Amino acid sequence: MTGAKNRRQGAATAPPELKDQDNEVTQGANGYESAHADDGPQENIFLLWPNIIGEHGMRYSRIVLAFASLYYMPLHPRTCSLLYTVSCLLDALDGYAARYFEQSTRFGAVLDMVTDRCTTACLLVFLSSAFPRWAIVFQGLISLDLASHYIHMYATLAMAGSESSHKNVDASRSRILSLYYTNKTFLFLACALNEAFFIALYLLSFSSPLLSPSLLQQTAVVPEVGAQVNSSLLKLVFANPHSAGALELARANKMDSFWPWVLAGVSFPVMALKQIINVVQLVKACKWLAEGDLKARRAMGLPRRKRKTA
């Protein structure tokens, strides 16, 4: 009690400048600095408006919609595609929300990147099971997407500092990466059409016997009530594809492969370009880290010259 009383008395008689310094920042034992409550209004980073209504969309809502789309993915292509598309389109609004509310945060930027990588990876995992012959391709795309973005982010933090954004790519390092990250229209179209191609493949796995020959085997079985049936295969199920039964079935569960093929054809070149950008991003980030390692080794006098022995 006496020691605590003496400390309080000492604080009360301390010079004003020392009191001000004590009220500004407290250094914790773990090395992080924390401000006191009287320094200004306190903010909860997890509840900032851009995190709630989304960076390039609803951040938290995007996660909920992504999980919902994954739930419907195995058996309900229309519902899944709608939820997945809305989740991706919301990614076009959160940046504006962050700037408008002056609440751009590193947490929000990382949350967006992680959400993008995870949703795309989950869709590619499904495509691997839907098209097992091409599983190695989809697995490679997942690995490339995760590796290129992780190494690029790490290289930015290690070489440019924690205050630098991974989107600040100098044209002298890579013109295509600089264009990709600084031109918002190019960035949006590249990401949107990349996702559109994979969504088209997902829909084709339900509607195109050309890509999914197993769909033809389903015609030998009488469809159950509410089961997924493809209208493009009605002529194989019914003698007259324009009969009342065929038309009723088509209206109840219409899934035609024409528009998914159109979407796949339009978006394929952009998807291929996006993968090229991922490769460039991976290579440039690795070279940037290697340059930093060389400078660090030279600063330490490495490699040491071997002494010649007589």
> What is the per-residue pLDDT for 74?
85
Q: What H or E segment, with its residue span, contains residue 33?
A: strand 33-34
Q: How many CB atoms lie within 10 A of CB 266?
A: 13
Q: Are 291 and 298 in contact (CB under 8 A)?
A: no
Range ranked top by mean pLDDT from 60-69, 93-102, 118-127, 215-224: 118-127
> What is the per-residue pLDDT for 58?
56
Residues 233, 255: Cα–Cα separation, whole Å: 9
Q: Which residue has the higher pLDDT, 189 or 75?
A: 189
Q: Is 39 a catalytic residue?
A: no
List the one residue out of 302, 303, 290 whose CA is nearest residue 158: 290
HSE value, Cβ hemisphere, 13 Å, CA-based, for 300: 7
Q: Are 95 and 56 in contact (CB under 8 A)?
A: yes
Q: Is the pLDDT of residue 193 over 90?
A: yes
Residue 39 neighbours by CB under 8 Å, 6+ apart: 23, 24
Q: Is the pLDDT of residue 57 over 90?
A: no
Q: Is the pLDDT of residue 103 over 70?
A: no
Q: Are 138 and 125 in contact (CB under 8 A)?
A: yes
Range ranked top by mean pLDDT from 101-110, 164-173, 248-257, 260-269: 260-269
Candidates 22, 116, 170, 256; catalytic one: 116
Q: Is the pLDDT of residue 150 over 50?
A: yes
Sign of the CA dihedral running 130, 131, 135, 138: negative
Over 53-68, what HEC string results? HCCCCCHHHHHHHHHH
